[in-house]
Amino acid sequence: MADWTPDIELLQASDNEEWMQVERTYYGRLMAYVGRRIDDRQAREDVVQDVFFGAVRGIASFDSIYTFEQYLFGICRNRTIDNLRRRSSRGLGAAQESGDGMPGLDELIADEVTPSGVISERDLVDRGQDLLVALLKEWVQETWQLGEFTRLMVIEALFHGGWRNRDTWKRFDLKDESAVAGIKFRALKRLRSLANRRDPAGSLLLKLAEVAGEAGSHLELSVMQAWRVGKVSCPARYWMTRMIAGNLPDEPLRYVQFHLVEMKCEFCQANHDDLVRADEKGEDPLLDRLQASTVQFLRSHVIRPEEERME
């Protein structure tokens, strides 16, 4: 099943039908995302409605380096954090820690905080992040195509999960810690040669390396962020559909489960919850309500660019 993506120009022209299709396509995923983090039903609906309003307001400055889904989830994440912050400052309690992969408030806001030392690196990190996303994606794709799922999981555990070598080799039944180091060494070597093609002068990477070498550098965080925000290894919705239908072969299945359960990918968890619920969903009064408000909003709306930011 190919995942529908909207025509950005139609959205920018405030095309009602295109926006309605956006809501039909994505609201289940957004509700699932928010549902994992906010208990209160009314608050959840408000947040999701707000996400669509925010998407309408920000679409004029949509950055095509991201997919539309990333754009929408970026807004959703910000709105969810805002809501949790407001609730916790009113003493209503933040999201609770649970075994279900729901992060606490601290975890949610941790990478939103910008320590003062990072600000001067901001530009560099942004550009570096784009390059990193592209490189990592390329590496993930070729590794997936080779069927090297253990290698893929090891690297994701290190780069995305921030696992240490000594925890990683046990999880994947490798011989010892040095096997992990070997996989990492080869992956970095390959990434460097991929980087060479995109940044032949090496100027960006050189600067990144300088920054990384400085004490208190936050570069490592940006690899982790590149992996998450860039959805570097997120399997297409098609794979998730096959997993739920029970006809995904063992090897990719092992990977998709690892990504969902151990890496706790928030995009894929939301996709998964939405797909699982799709069968049970019949009439949907909430979708009707959301769409009615959005139509009204589109009618009354004057587009103000620069209002929505990507993460």
Residue 248 CB, nearest distance to Zn ion (Å)? 15
Which of 44/237 has CB closer to Zn ion?
237
The nearer residue to Zn ion, 75 or 234, going by C-beta atoms, is 234
Sign, CA dihedral 202-206-207-212, equals positive
Which residue, 261 or 292, has its beta carbon nearer to Zn ion? 261
Return the number of the residue (32 or 205) whose C-beta is nearest Zn ion. 32
To the nearest whole angstrom, how small is the minimum distance from the Cβ of residue 57 to Zn ion? 27
In angstroms, give the least distance from the CB of 234 to Zn ion: 3
The residue (of 19 and 163) whose beta carbon lies closer to Zn ion is 163
Q: How far is the CB of 171 from Zn ion (least distance, A)?
A: 19
What separation, in Å, do the N-terminal and C-terminal C-alpha atoms of the chain show? Answer: 29
- The encoded tokens of residue 146 equal 């080779």
Nearer to Zn ion, 60 or 140 (CB): 140
Write down the least CB distance from residue 193 to Zn ion, Å: 26
Shortest reach from residue 61's CB to Zn ion, in Å? 25
From residue 76, give the alpha-carbon distance in Å to each of 79, 130, 177, 222, 270: 5, 21, 39, 21, 12
Report in angstroms the alpha-carbon separations of 172 from 34, 101, 152, 167, 175.
32, 21, 11, 9, 9
> Which one, 95 or 268, has the nearer CB to Zn ion?
268
Tokens 């690297």 appear where?
155
Q: How far is Cα 56 from Cα 206, in angstroms, rounded to an integer?
A: 39
How many angstroms separate the Cα of 272 from the Cα of each of 25, 151, 236, 246, 276? Answer: 14, 24, 11, 13, 6
User: What residues line the site for Zn ion (CB under 5 A)?
Assistant: 234, 265, 267-268
Least distance to Zn ion from the beta carbon of 263, Å? 7
- CB-neighbour burial class of residue 158 (10 A; exposed 0-12, middle 13-18, buried 19+): buried
